[in-house]
Amino acid sequence: MAAGPPTAVLALRGIRVSGRDRPRLEDVDLSLAPGERVALLGASGAGKSTLLAVANGLLAPVAGTVLWEGQAPARSRRGRRRQQARIGTLWQDLRLIEELTVQQNLNAARLARWGWPRALLNLLLPLDTEACAAALRAMDLDPALLEQPVTALSGGQRQRVAMARLLRQEPTLLLADEPLASLDPRLAGELLALLLAQAVAPRALLLSLHRPDLLDGFDRAVGLKDGRVLFDGPVAQVNAALLADLYGGTPPGETP
Amino acid sequence: MKPAAPLLLLLPALVLVPLAVLLPPLVHGGGWELIGSFALAAVTPSLDPVVLASLLRGVAVTAGMALLGWAGSLVLGLLLGAASSRTVWRTLTGSTLPAELIRRLLALPRAIHELIWGLLLLQLVGLQPAVAVLAIALPFGALVARVLSDLLDALPTAGLEALRAAGAPAPAALLTAMGPALLPGVLSYGGYRLECALRSATLLGVFGLGGLGTDLKLSLQSLEFHELWSGLWLLLAVMLALEGGISLLRRRWLVPGRFVLARRGVGERSREMLLTLAALLPLCVLVGRGLGVDPAALLQWQPLPGLGGGDWAATAALPWPRLVGGTLLLTALAASLAVGLAPLLLVVVAPVGWARQGLRLLWALGRLWPPPLTALPLLFVLEPGVITAALALGFHNLGVLGRLLLESADVADPAAEEALACGGSGPRLALLYGRFSALARPYLAYGAYRADVILRESVVVGLVGATGLGSQLLESLSSFAWDQLLALVAVYALLTLVGEDLSDRARHRWLRAA
């Protein structure tokens, strides 16, 4: 590697997204270096989900630039798809395909790289069983689950399958929108640890969080308030006063 | 090796493989020029005021026949539906036996297509507006009766029993406990039947029972394509207005759509629904006056020509296996085409936003166009036979199925598709995996029901020649061979009943597995 800082996995500059009465995001700068794990904090309505939608390309900002691995959004359809394939999102509602098996769901993350023949064959035969099993094991799941329909899984298992699918996509940018919101504290801690363990260079992780007590494994925290970045710094600097400011009163969950 | 849901959805489209082999030998040089001027006329319809005035009269007659036939089928269906309901008989008499009996009897009028009814009535009472009305009302009434009694018998009876225990007389208790719960389902199905009635009235016209269908057929036969298209565009406007109005009312009243074959829905504004139904009555009287429908004339039967002792030996000598086989092949081809092409085309055009609107228009034309009228232009370039007939029948039903699939895809949860597209899969695969997965089973279940409709409908393309029972039936009818006709109608009804049973089973299996 040549000298100089490595290319940021995600770089947002001066992002603005308009809303009905006020901007949903205003002049937001955010940069993720390879290997960085960043927590996104803020009250509901602060713009966390909007920011993540800009980061994963779902929402085009009205002003500002988005760079993925140093590249602006590609103009060609094919180029854009190649970019999107490197952005993995863990959705709050998981978005598993209920009619398919665990293995078919995991392989659905490969559709961007597969052609039609494999995409259709995946609906008939178990494909890439070894890679799928490895993804399940990385999430502490039994590979025997591969043949199960996802409807047969428990809530915790579904969460892990969604995370395994994220791995199966092999993205460089990991995005997650409050993935732990509906889980009990012990399970939330466990799953967060698994996710953080996957975020090693060249990957980077941006995760929105509603519980400041889970900040330990992150490198940086970014606080949003009313669509603006209020704080961007090491996790160690997050204190009660800042949280009170972010959440406009008592912070949710326990204070750190 | 069990194909997953989205793959199942694409499997019926495999019918394109044998078609690609069988179709080229059927092409004859003949009428490409005619096809060209036919297609060109679509954008240059005749605007001659005289033509338009006559076509408008035709549209009005067709719409009027549809409305009256539909209203008649609702009245018939409500009465017969109550009469074939187990719950009703149990409440009134304590026995469900009469319900079972009436249910079986109603299978016969249901199994016979409205075209056969129309042609038989035409022979019996001569050409008059009431023939088309009755031809629609009879089979549709039996269909409404079946759906209504199924809905009724599936409702929980706790409320009814409570009212009876409190001393309410049986009819009042039935109406109070069941009426409100039944209304949304009946309205939803009724709306769908009105759309069917418009299509049927057009079709009956093609066979000479009056209205726009007759005009369309004459224009086509005399190669007046510009006039033909004027009529088709007019009819399209009426059909889209009707469909739009019905779906507006569905949304307003929150009654279930047809797609999921929902057993129960959430109904609101019951009073408004009843008022709308009540307003239909004077409208029907007015329309009846306008059309000159005279119920009394239906009672003046003409002596049937050539009715003597049947020639049963000649009837038995008909090539039955070939006739039945042709009909089944026609049904299978047309059903696979209609069921398979709708999802395939949607997937193919997924990346192009406006192409979806193009498909919407194409499907609307398919619905509107009576299959025999599609078959005629096809005959300009194709040899007659089962495959040509299957293309015409398949195109018509593709219009029906495609609209259903598109409408339900539009209201289905977009989350999974969005997630896939966001991960870089192309729009086609995102649609197939993300959105069609959830739709596959209900869609195929509906397809099974549609296959049953197609079997019944296969008679209408009989004039394409050598298509099995349908063409033989039309031939026997025109030569007044009543013995053959009787046997053919009986075989048709039997096939339809077996088909209905099979498609019912398939549907329940699909929906249960979901």
Judged by CB atoms closer than 8 Å, whether chains meet at B424 and A81 is answered as yes
Residue bearing the bigger pLDDT, B43 or B157:
B43
B434 in contact with chain A, both atoms CB, cutoff 8 A: yes
**How many residue pairs bridge chain A and chain B with CB atoms within 8 Å of each other?**
85
Q: Hey, is A233 helix, strand or coil?
A: strand
Angle at B117 between CA B330 and CA B59, to 5 degrees: 90
Cα B21 from Cα A80, distance rounded (Å): 39
Every domain of chain A and the residues it spans:
8-86+172-256, 97-170
Which residue on chain A is closest to B417 by alpha carbon?
A: A95
Model pLDDT, residue B303:
66
Q: Hey, is A178 helix, strand or coil?
A: coil
Query: In chain A, what residues touch B415 (CB-CB under 8 Å)?
Result: 91, 93, 95
Could you tell me if B211 and B129 are in contact, meaning their C-beta atoms sit under 8 angstroms apart? no
**pLDDT tens track for A160-195:** 999 999 999 999 999 999 888 878 888 888 999 999
Model pLDDT, residue B263:
39
Could you tell me if A173 and A14 are in contact, meaning their C-beta atoms sit under 8 angstroms apart? no
**Distance of residue B344 Cα from the nearest chain A Cα, in angstroms:** 13
First to last CA, chain A: 39
- Among B418, B423, B433, whose Cβ lies nearest the Cβ of A88? B423
Model pLDDT, residue B189:
84
Does B328 lie in the same domain as B268? Answer: no
- Among A86, A97, A113, whose Cβ lies nearest the Cβ of B416? A97
Q: 């629904």: which residue's tokens?
A: B273
Could you tell me if B454 and B331 are in contact, meaning their C-beta atoms sit under 8 angstroms apart? yes
B445 in contact with chain A, both atoms CB, cutoff 8 A: no
Which residue on chain B is closest to A149 by alpha carbon?
A: B4
Cα B342 from chain centre: 17
- If you average pLDDT over each of A248-252, B283-287, B292-296, which comes out highest? B283-287
- What is the number of other CB atoms lying within 10 angstroms of the CB of residue A135? 28
Judged by CB atoms closer than 8 Å, whether chains meet at B420 and A125 is answered as no
Could you tell me if A252 and A211 are in contact, meaning their C-beta atoms sit under 8 angstroms apart? yes
Element (H, E) at B478: helix B469-478
Cα A15 from Cα A115, distance rounded (Å): 35
Average pLDDT of chain A to the nearest whole number: 89
* Burial degree of B451 (CB within 10 A; 0-12, 13-18, 19+): buried
Interacting residues of B412 by C-beta distance below 8 A, sequence separation 6+:
B435, B438, B439
Could you tell me if B72 and B137 are in contact, meaning their C-beta atoms sit under 8 angstroms apart? yes
Model pLDDT, residue B264:
41
**Distance of residue A88 Cα from the nearest chain B Cα, in angstroms:** 6
Angstrom CA distances, B249 to B186, B244, B246, B269, B347, stand at: 13, 9, 5, 11, 30
Judged by CB atoms closer than 8 Å, whether chains meet at A99 and B437 is answered as yes
Cα B33 from Cα B30, distance rounded (Å): 8
* Burial degree of A202 (CB within 10 A; 0-12, 13-18, 19+): middle
Q: Which amino acid is at B31?
A: G
B429 in contact with chain A, both atoms CB, cutoff 8 A: yes
- Tokens representing B268 are 């609101």
Is pLDDT at A236 greater than 60 in this prediction?
yes
CATH topology of domain A8-86+172-256: Rossmann fold (3.40.50)
- If you average pLDDT over each of A149-153, A248-252, B463-467, which comes out highest? A149-153
Judged by CB atoms closer than 8 Å, whether chains meet at B7 and A124 is answered as yes
Model pLDDT, residue A4:
67
Cα B311 from Cα B309, distance rounded (Å): 7
Total-model pTM? 0.86
**DSSP assignments along A61-125, one per residue:** -SEEEEEETTBPPPSSHHHHHHHHHTEEEE-TT----TTSBHHHHHHHTTTTTS-HHHHHHTTTS
Which residues, listed in sequence order, are joined to residue A89 by a DSSP beta bridge? A175
Does B354 lie in the same domain as B287? Answer: no
Is pLDDT at A234 greater than 50 in this prediction?
yes
Residues in chain A: 256
Cα B347 from Cα B6, distance rounded (Å): 11
B260 band by pLDDT with thresholds 50, 70 and 90: very low
Cα A48 from Cα A181, distance rounded (Å): 14
Does B327 lie in the same domain as B290? Answer: no
Judged by CB atoms closer than 8 Å, whether chains meet at B441 and A99 is answered as yes
Model pLDDT, residue B124:
81
Angstrom CA distances, B231 to B48, B214, B221, B222, stand at: 12, 11, 14, 14
Average pLDDT of chain B to the nearest whole number: 85
Does B413 lie in the same domain as B347? Answer: yes
Residue among B148, B409, B426 at smallest CA distance from A82: B426
Cα dihedral B259, B264, B268, B272 sign: positive
Residue B301 lies in a domain: no
Interface test with B, best of A83, A90, A95, A166 (most B CBs within 10 A): A95
Is pLDDT at B308 greater than 70 in this prediction?
no
Is pLDDT at B490 greater than 80 in this prediction?
yes
As a whole-number percent, the residues of chain B with pLDDT over 90 amount to 22
Which residue on chain A is closest to B351 by alpha carbon?
A: A77
Is pLDDT at B311 greater than 80 in this prediction?
no
The DSSP code for A12 is E
Residues in chain B: 514
Interacting residues of B402 by C-beta distance below 8 A, sequence separation 6+:
B341, B342, B345, B346, B359, B363, B366
Judged by CB atoms closer than 8 Å, whether chains meet at A87 and B7 is answered as no
B445 band by pLDDT with thresholds 50, 70 and 90: confident
Judged by CB atoms closer than 8 Å, whether chains meet at B4 and A123 is answered as yes
Residue B244 lies in a domain: yes
The ipTM is: 0.90
Does B473 lie in the same domain as B390? Answer: yes
- Among A85, A91, A96, whose Cβ lies nearest the Cβ of B424? A85
Residue B68 lies in a domain: yes
Does B165 lie in the same domain as B106? Answer: yes
Model pLDDT, residue B268:
54
Which residues of chain A have a Cβ shorter than 8 Å from any chain B Cβ?
56-58, 77, 81-89, 91, 93, 95-101, 104, 108-109, 111-113, 116, 119-120, 123-125, 169, 171
Model pLDDT, residue B159:
79
Judged by CB atoms closer than 8 Å, whether chains meet at A108 and B433 is answered as yes
Out of B229-238, B262-271, B438-447, B491-500, which region has the weakest mean confidence (pLDDT)?
A: B262-271
Residue A111 has φ and ψ, to the nearest 5°, of: -55, -35
The domain that holds B87 is classified in CATH as 1.10.3720.10
Which residue on chain B is closest to A91 by alpha carbon?
A: B419
Residue among B115, B108, B102, B119 at smallest CA distance from B493: B108
Does B334 lie in the same domain as B278? Answer: no
**Distance of residue A101 Cα from the nearest chain B Cα, in angstroms:** 9
* Burial degree of B376 (CB within 10 A; 0-12, 13-18, 19+): middle
Is pLDDT at B231 greater than 80 in this prediction?
yes
- Among A83, A97, A116, whose Cβ lies nearest the Cβ of B437? A97
Domain total of chain B:
2
Cα B397 from Cα B453, distance rounded (Å): 9
Residue bearing the bigger pLDDT, B261 or B478:
B478
Interacting residues of A116 by C-beta distance below 8 A, sequence separation 6+:
B429
Could you tell me if B211 and B58 are in contact, meaning their C-beta atoms sit under 8 angstroms apart? yes
Judged by CB atoms closer than 8 Å, whether chains meet at A95 and B429 is answered as no
Query: In chain B, what residues touch A120 (CB-CB under 8 Å)?
Result: 7, 10
- Domain range for B381 is 323-514
**Distance of residue A245 Cα from the nearest chain B Cα, in angstroms:** 33
Query: In chain B, what residues touch A81 (CB-CB under 8 Å)?
Result: 424-426
Judged by CB atoms closer than 8 Å, whether chains meet at B419 and A95 is answered as yes
- Strands A37-41 and A204-208: what pairing? parallel
Model pLDDT, residue B312:
78
Sheet with A87-90, strands from edge to edge, namely: A87-90, A173-177, A204-208, A37-41, A220-225, A228-234
Out of B130-139, B367-376, B505-514, which region has the weakest mean confidence (pLDDT)?
A: B505-514
Could you tell me if A207 and A39 are in contact, meaning their C-beta atoms sit under 8 angstroms apart? yes
Judged by CB atoms closer than 8 Å, whether chains meet at B419 and A77 is answered as no
Out of A223-227, B41-45, B156-160, which region has the weakest mean confidence (pLDDT)?
A: B156-160
Which residue on chain B is closest to A77 by alpha carbon?
A: B426
Which residue on chain B is closest to A111 by alpha carbon?
A: B425
**Distance of residue B444 Cα from the nearest chain A Cα, in angstroms:** 14
**Distance of residue B266 Cα from the nearest chain A Cα, in angstroms:** 26
The DSSP code for B124 is H
Does B407 lie in the same domain as B330? Answer: yes
Does B280 lie in the same domain as B356? Answer: no
Does B490 lie in the same domain as B396? Answer: yes
Angstrom CA distances, B153 to B92, B140, B173, B178, B263, stand at: 14, 20, 15, 10, 11
Is pLDDT at A220 greater than 90 in this prediction?
yes
B454 band by pLDDT with thresholds 50, 70 and 90: very high
- Among A77, A89, A123, whose Cβ lies nearest the Cβ of B6? A123
Q: Hey, is B217 helix, strand or coil?
A: helix
Residue among B153, B39, B144, B45 at smallest CA distance from B100: B153
Does B335 lie in the same domain as B288? Answer: no
Out of A5-14, B320-329, B495-504, which region has the weakest mean confidence (pLDDT)?
A: B495-504
Cα A160 from Cα A142, distance rounded (Å): 11
Model pLDDT, residue B256:
62
Judged by CB atoms closer than 8 Å, whether chains meet at B434 and A116 is answered as no
